[in-house]
Chains A and B, each alone.
Chain A
Amino acid sequence: MEFKDYYATLGVDKTATADEIKKAYRKLARKYHPDVSKEADAAERMSAINEANTVLSDPEKRAAYDALGRRPPGQEFRPPPDWDAGFEFSGGEFGAGEEEFSDFFANLFGRGARARRGPHEASIRGGDHHAKVMIDLADSYHGARRAVTLRSARLDAAGHVVTDERVLEVTIPKGVRAGQHIRLRGQGAAGLGGGSAGDLYLEIEFRADERYQIDGRDVTQRVSVAPWEAALGAAIEVPTPSGPVQVTVPAGSRNGRKLRLRGRGIPGEPPGDLYLELELVLPPASTEAARELYRTMEREMKFNPRTERGR
């Protein structure tokens, strides 16, 4: 496993006081908190920051970690036998998210260390795990089965941490919305001492698609229309998540006008609505004939959009 320099992760000196560590942790937590951060790797950074803070903010773990000495981050590392002899860990106070910590952490402070120490440990239910599953809007309209790949750490017979990868086939129910959770019983962390396994919660998130904006069960879809279709009215065919739909564009439609198709949003009781937002697209003036048509409009229509719209 790779050595982790927790001091470097938090950007503090090895002699940092508890207050300095707390201050550095909170500053980084504000920057990389996945709910607010726009950094692409916010979730990974936050996990690393949490891991470093879990060790350095606990005097027992920090003392044991310091005893390992300092090495370059990323260097291949294996703790010596009985590396933690002489250190007492209170145990148990690991907080949420421990399952996302590195193999390095798990090997030093993880369940294995505690299990080896406590042969008479009571049966404990495994922790619940959380993960996000990205789906397309069409999956919610029709339902789907998706293979979800999950990684988790466990100890092998020799007490080493090994990473398991498992693939779960999950049913995405028709009508599911962003933010809803699918619960997979017994797919969380394994229990200890004969305790039952925890559950796995999968949070649904829609894959970004610039065509759609989703609000609960209501869906807004952008539809491109030609200027003459908007001005004169037209019957057009629109590909929607539930299939192609014939729509009448009313004459005199402006850019951004929304047409409501009742009940064609995400299925449910009641189903959501689908809003088609008209987006006027100008034909390119790429040929002489096209440019002449624009010049004719300019001459004949006497149209000044700044005067018409007051801006």
Chain B
Amino acid sequence: MIERTVELLVDEGGLSIEELASACAVTCEWIERHVQGGLLEIDRSVGMRFTSVQLLRARRLADIERTFDANDELAALVVDLIEEVERLRGRR
């Protein structure tokens, strides 16, 4: 049976800090620490909330930190490189 669902494009309303934390299986303090450290940005265009870009980045940061016991800055460096590789692979 096909279920119909209620969908929202994350970027239209953005995510609150609690919603982002839940989506990444981290605490709100973890999000705050990464925002204050400049490793994760708040999208001011959607009223100080978080969009898909930050959701993907936050999940990657949390995953790298968890998998490799990496500190915040090192995980951010790895994620920066992953994003750069993605950008370059998108080119021909």
Contact = CB atoms under 8 A, between A and B. Distances in A.
B27 to A, nearest CB: 13
Interface of A is mostly: mixed
Given A128-B23, A181-B11, A199-B19, 12 more contacts: A36-B82, A95-B66, A96-B62, A130-B23, A130-B59, A169-B4, A173-B9, A179-B52, A181-B10, A182-B9, A186-B6, A203-B52
Size class of A's contact patch? 35 or more
Contacts of B8: 182-183, 185
Nearest to B85: A36
A168 interface: yes
Interface string B14-27: 00000100111100
B67 interface: yes
Given A180-B11, A185-B6, A96 B55 contact: no
Contacts of B60: 35
A214 B86 CA distance: 12
B41 to A, nearest CB: 15
Interface residues of B, number: 32
B1 A168 contact: no
B52 A127 contact: no
Interface in B58-85: 59-60, 62-63, 66-68, 82, 85
A214 B90 contact: yes
B16 to A, nearest CB: 12
A167 interface: yes
